[in-house]
Amino acid sequence: MKKGLLIALLTPFIGFAQQPELIPAPQKMEATGKSFVWKQGMSFYCPPAFENTPCKLTIWGLVHIYKSANAKKANVVVTALPKPRGYHSEYYKLSITPKQIRIAAYTDTGVFRACMTLLQMLPADYVQTKQTGFPLPCVNIEDRPAFNYRGLHLDVCRHFFPVSFIKRYIDDMALFKYNVFHWHLTEDQGWRIEIKKYPKLTEVGAWRNGSQKGRYAEHRFDSLRYGGFYTQEEVKEIVEYARQRYITVIPEIEMPGHSLAALAAYPQLSCTGGPFEVAKGWGVFDDVYCAGNDTTLNFLKDVLSEVLTLFPSKYIHIGGDECPKTRWKICPKCQNRMKLEGLKDEHELQSWFVQHIEKWLNEKGRSIIGWDEILEGGLAPNATVMSWRGTAGGEEAAKQGHNVIMTPGKPCYFDHYQSKDSTEPIAIGGYNPLQAVYDYSPVPTSLGDLSTHVLGAQGNVWTEYMETEGHVEYMVWPRAAALAEALWTGTGRDYQKFLKNLPSTMKQLETRGVNHARHFSKKP
Ligand code: ACM
Ligand code: ZN
């Protein structure tokens, strides 16, 4: 008998150092060659330090185990590590021996990240089939993220997606250890969050009517009233749902541009007084909030007051991108503001506007994030910059001592094509394949010691061309898995191993009914 065949026959009995297929790959992982037999009805011990959060292992009905008071005998044991100076809240150790699964962490967040690793080690259809008696490879994993900001964004304005979808999106993010959901809630084409003081924002601003001309004539919602919004109760539900998955939700309330839906509802907030319609096509529109009108600023503060009660996040995203100055240049109120404040041009007027809102939010204990246009005319003193027009804005902001989140169009925009296949569904143009996302390193080499200002990066999902849930998921996965590994694993990652691990992690999405692209499984 050939030696190879003998080994193959004996392998099930002697055990083998099988590497679990994990994305993002852990910082350190060794397989011992043994296995732990997973059974229903296992016992679980969690120390008091971690008890007051929902049991992470029961998320998605994952584990049907009961609590046990006895740490020594339990099948799954969680340990709270003493916190040294400079500890990382997401750090965890996961050790699986033939007798026990052990998770050790400093915080609840670390325990949760460990549980997501464990979840990826179970059969993809485990939750559905509740199978029992299967082996888990014994491993010693020690893990923590390379970057502290690992974001995924969703534009719910160009197309609207219901609460059920947002929750699924958050589940998907959790599985890949994302920690920030950037929720783009207001736009020219729709205002999507209930604001009690201004009911017309959603009565009028959440809906668009009539036919769409030109390039978008085939739009499915032609001639229909299209839209939707989230009630404040639904927003709270989503924020809590994300919190339980150790994901922070950062809302984006766009200003001063991309505000046509709000102006359709309240035209007095504009320079001209309107009237306006909620935008039916895509693009950038000249009608924006009037920067010279105190009523407009008070409106925004009222809106933000309600937003602050719903979102506990440190950061509030105030947009700031793509704001044409066309109206401001001829608006007597805007020109008067410039004169009074000694502003030399309309870029400085935008900077004044953003700084005014920043100061107000800072007084409420929050910080702003803005797109990189907020550099123009002078950066608000405490702002974090989201660099989307390449990385130059981020580099400049870091040089000015500001924190930065990198989202350069290539490779962080998941609305670009991921394949050159002619059968690819319509996308916004541009080519951003899986490997380009995987290879992304958010810290520009030019930054040197300033690199600590780069908090991390984010995948952006603008939905002009994504009408359905399945299409959003197709554009997001697996590219968001590639970005997750770039941000969590960092320098030690390996694209070939990632490709090998993709099919089983994508299967985890499939079994929950989540769609994904499949280009990675084709030979080039
Ligand atoms: C953006 O893509 N306009 C931030
Ligand atoms: Zn004006």
pLDDT score recorded for residue 416: 97
For 455-471, the pLDDT digits (tens) are 999 999 999 999 999 99
Domain spanning 20-143: which superfamily?
Answer: Chitobiase/beta-hexosaminidase domain 2-like (3.30.379.10)
Pairing between β-strand 92-96 and β-strand 101-105 as defined by DSSP bridges: antiparallel
The token pair at 101 is 């699964």
For 470-504, the pLDDT digits (tens) are 999 999 999 999 999 999 999 999 999 999 999 99
Percentage of the chain beyond pLDDT 70 is 90
Q: Among the bound ligands, name the one nearest to the CA of residue 291.
A: 2
Q: How many angstroms separate the alpha carbon of residue 291 from the centre of ligand 2? A: 5
In angstroms, rounded to a whole number, what is the distance separating the alpha carbons of residues 413 and 418? Answer: 10
Compute the half-sphere exposure of residue 17: CA atoms within 13 Å on the CB side of its CA: 5
pLDDT score recorded for residue 55: 55
Ligand 1, atom nearest to 319 Cα: 4
pLDDT score recorded for residue 220: 46
In angstroms, rounded to a whole number, what is the distance separating the alpha carbons of residues 317 and 184? Answer: 9
- Mean pLDDT, the chain, rounded, equals 91
Given a contact cutoff of 8 angstroms between Cβ atoms, the answer to whether 372 and 389 are in contact is yes
User: Between these two residues, 40 and 207, which has the higher pLDDT value?
Assistant: 207
Ligand 1, atom nearest to 388 Cα: 4
In angstroms, rounded to a whole number, what is the distance separating the alpha carbons of residues 508 and 511? Answer: 6
Ligand 1, atom nearest to 460 Cα: 2
The token pair at 368 is 């702003």
Strand, helix or coil at 234? helix
Q: Which of 58-62, 83-87, 126-130 has the highest mean pLDDT?
A: 83-87
Q: Which amino acid is at 316?
A: I
Given a contact cutoff of 8 angstroms between Cβ atoms, the answer to whether 309 and 346 are in contact is no
CA-nearest of 486, 389, 383, 396 to 442 is 486
| Dihedral (CA of 126, 112, 54, 513) sign | negative
Alpha carbon of residue 307 to chain centroid: 19
Structural element, H or E, at residue 80: strand 76-80
In angstroms, rounded to a whole number, what is the distance separating the alpha carbons of residues 143 and 368? Answer: 30
pLDDT score recorded for residue 41: 75
In angstroms, rounded to a whole number, what is the distance separating the alpha carbons of residues 212 and 220? Answer: 10
DSSP 8-state assignment for residue 406: E
Mean pLDDT of 152-164: 96
Percentage of the chain beyond pLDDT 90 is 79
Please list the helix, strand and coil fractions of the chain in percent, rounded to the nearest 5, in that order.
40, 20, 45
Given a contact cutoff of 8 angstroms between Cβ atoms, the answer to whether 193 and 307 are in contact is yes
Q: Among the bound ligands, name the one nearest to the CA of residue 390.
A: 1
> 127 pLDDT band (50/70/90 cuts)?
confident
Token pair 């003193």 is at which residue? 381
Statement: residue 11 has pLDDT above 80: no
Q: How many angstroms separate the alpha carbon of residue 267 from the centre of ligand 2? A: 12
Q: Among the bound ligands, name the one nearest to the CA of residue 374.
A: 1
- H-helix segments, 405-510: 409-412, 434-438, 469-476, 479-488, 495-510
Q: Which of 462, 463, 464, 465 to mutate to test the pocket of ligand 1 (most atoms within 8 A of CB)?
A: 462
List ligand 1's pocket residues with C-beta within 6 A.
321-322, 371, 388
Ligand 1, atom nearest to 409 Cα: 2
Of 178-182, 214-218, 229-233, the least confident: 214-218
For 282-331, the pLDDT digits (tens) are 999 999 999 999 999 999 999 999 999 999 999 999 999 999 999 999 99
For 427-454, the pLDDT digits (tens) are 998 999 999 999 999 999 999 999 999 9
The token pair at 87 is 């500890």
Given a contact cutoff of 8 angstroms between Cβ atoms, the answer to whether 21 and 500 are in contact is yes
For 382-428, the pLDDT digits (tens) are 999 999 999 999 999 999 999 999 999 999 999 999 999 989 999 99
Domain spanning 149-521: which superfamily?
Answer: Glycosidases (3.20.20.80)
For 20-70, the pLDDT digits (tens) are 999 999 999 999 999 999 887 788 888 888 865 545 555 555 555 556 667
Statement: residue 14 has pLDDT above 50: no
- Which residue's CA is the nearest one to ligand 1's atom 2? 388
Given a contact cutoff of 8 angstroms between Cβ atoms, the answer to whether 380 and 355 are in contact is yes
Statement: residue 223 has pLDDT above 70: no
Given a contact cutoff of 8 angstroms between Cβ atoms, the answer to whether 442 and 147 are in contact is yes
Compute the half-sphere exposure of residue 179: CA atoms within 13 Å on the CB side of its CA: 21
- Which residue's CA is the nearest one to ligand 1's atom 3? 321
DSSP 8-state assignment for residue 270: B
Q: How many angstroms separate the alpha carbon of residue 266 from the centre of ligand 2? A: 14
In angstroms, rounded to a whole number, what is the distance separating the alpha carbons of residues 88 and 349? Answer: 41
CA-nearest of 459, 458, 466, 415 to 160 is 466
Statement: residue 10 has pLDDT above 50: no
Mean pLDDT of 135-152: 97
pLDDT score recorded for residue 57: 59
Beta-bridge mates of residue 248: 180
Of 7-11, 188-192, 354-358, 460-464, the least confident: 7-11
pLDDT score recorded for residue 132: 86
Statement: residue 222 has pLDDT above 60: no
Q: Domain extents for the chain?
A: 20-143, 149-521
Ligand 1, atom nearest to 258 Cα: 3
pLDDT score recorded for residue 131: 84
Q: How many angstroms separate the alpha carbon of residue 103 from the centre of ligand 1? A: 40
- To the nearest 10°, report the CA torsion of 117, 118, 123, 124: -40
